[in-house]
Amino acid sequence: MIEKDFYNTIDKPGIAEFKDRGSKFVAYAFPIVTVNNFKKRLEEVKREHPKATHHCFAYRLGTDKNNFRVSDDGEPSGTAGKQILGQIDSRNLTYIFIVVVRYFGGSLLGVPGLINAYKTSASLVIQVTPIVQKAIEIIYTLEFDYTMMNSMMIIIKQLNCSIINQETQLFCRFSIGVPVKREQEFLYRVGELKNIQLGKHKPV
């Protein structure tokens, strides 16, 4: 496998717990593809743990290493979000969101203790969540007459493209992900069809 054709991620949520001197840390890992996915998942966790003292997190999106965010959520700067992201990056993962919920147990852990707790919590949840390898995809939008549906679906299936969004009426509009290494074959085969409008977006 050529490394640049694939990325590592998770395709199902995971959960793990870590305890230190009375404080309990509950770590959640979620697969996400957009910032909106992250916001929705964070709200779900906050609703589930309304009495927690902190909800610290990190996420990474995309394959260019530029789209990420960390939050210490009131913990000393650098003790939480940065540690969570460090664990994500140590496994070379993307399209992943990890939030660690803390219930304070009465004893201060100090900066070294906090760093260890958030780092360990993130590491544990990654360990119990299966990592999968997925093809890096180029996003294309397709517009075509419904009579072309069968021909398009054959191409999508044979080239292992993923359907991101579809509107199927008399005139169809699809957003699909085309594996990088199948892009030229995809363009050739779609080019053989009539009356297909094609738009290209950046890789994801």
Which among 32, 19, 117, 41 is positioned nearest to 75, based on CA atoms? 117
For 69, residues 6+ apart whose C-beta sits below 8 A from its C-beta are 38, 57, 58, 59, 81
CATH number for the domain harbouring residue 74: 3.30.230.30
Do residue 36 and residue 117 come from a single domain? yes
In a shared domain, residues 102 and 197: no
Q: Are residues 25 and 105 in the same domain?
A: yes
Is there a contact between 122 and 88 (Cβ–Cβ < 8 Å)?
Answer: yes
Which residues, at least 6 apart from 184, have a Cβ–Cβ distance to it below 8 Å? none
Q: Which residue has the tokens 């299966």?
A: 130
Sign of the four-CA dihedral 33, 34, 36, 39:
positive
Nearest in space to 84 (alpha carbons), one of 43, 125, 54, 46: 125
| pTM score, whole prediction | 0.81
Tell me: do 95 and 169 sit in the same domain. no
pLDDT tens track, the chain, 204 positions: 344 789 999 999 999 999 999 999 999 999 998 899 999 999 999 999 999 999 999 999 988 888 999 999 999 999 999 999 999 999 999 999 999 999 999 899 999 999 999 999 999 999 999 999 998 989 899 999 999 999 999 999 999 999 988 998 889 999 999 999 999 999 999 999 888 899 887 655
Same domain for 54 and 93:
yes
* Residues spanned by the domain of 193: 136-203
Residue with tokens 């992943």: 96
Q: Are 27 and 83 contained in the same domain?
A: yes
Q: Same structural domain for residues 119 and 185?
A: no
CATH number at residue 169: 3.30.70.240
Residue 37 and residue 105 in one domain: yes
One domain, residues 23 and 62: yes
Q: Are residues 144 and 126 in the same domain?
A: no
Q: Residue 68: helix, strand or coil by DSSP?
A: strand
Domain count for the chain, please give it.
2
Look at the block and give the residue holding tokens 């053989």. Answer: 192
